[in-house]
Chains A and B, each alone.
Chain A
Amino acid sequence: AQSVAQPEDQVNVAEGNPLTVKCTYSVSGNPYLFWYVQYPNRGLQFLLKYITGDNLVKGSYGFEAEFNKSQTSFHLKKPSALVSDSALYFCAVRDLGSSNTGKLIFGQGTTLQVKP
């Protein structure tokens, strides 16, 4: 069965420092991986995705993610955090067992707090 795990409920980082939000996955075939961000009282916004190719994926708002097949990880990163990056972040993997329905399996979410 496919699954995705976000091992940290919360990540705290000082403004200007680099940030990493961790995600690991388990799939039975090629992984298709996504990151979303949710600001308070808002819906989820798509940040970036890994389909194939370059292991470093660049996305919106200066975020990037590194795909590591041997470690089955897809960590979200940003070189210099902003206070406005404070939000809830979700990692998701495409459900490969669901044919052509586009279903995603989401992690439990990681709250990122960036302090001034």
Chain B
Amino acid sequence: NAGVTQTPKFQVLKTGQSMTLQCAQDMNHNSMYWYRQDPGMGLRLIYYSASEGTTDKGEVPNGYNVSRLNKREFSLRLESAAPSQTSVYFCASGGQSFYGEQFFGPGTRLTVL
């Protein structure tokens, strides 16, 4: 089992460019999540998908869109990148029950110039 995979690992964008971060899980989890991690701020939830076909905003959704393509895949899109979106992005899956933990991907380090 690969667990949660993310592509790309690193990306540099110029302000105004767009890109899509890809995430896939092979654990048959219903729920998937996108977080950003910034120094001193912990992890902040951008969007989540509680089940295939549904998506909801998290704490910091502005400037992002998501697509739950199927049960395995959950993508995050930046339509017009801004320097404030420079961050490390993590995808996670699982945790749907009250007792379930989330499983994290290795992350994407994004720099917006």
Contact = CB atoms under 8 A, between A and B. Distances in A.
Contacts, number: 60
A contact patch SS: loop
Interface size, B (range): 20 to 34
Contact of B101 (A41, A49, A100, A106): A49
Main secondary structure, interface of B, reads: loop
Contacts of A106: 42-43
B104 A102 contact: no
Interface in B3-45: 4, 31, 33, 40-43, 45
Given A32-B98, A101-B96, A107-B42, A43 B104 contact: yes
A42 B106 contact: yes
Interface string A73-88: 0000000000000000
Interface of A: 9, 32, 34, 36, 41-46, 49, 51, 90, 94, 100-104, 106-109
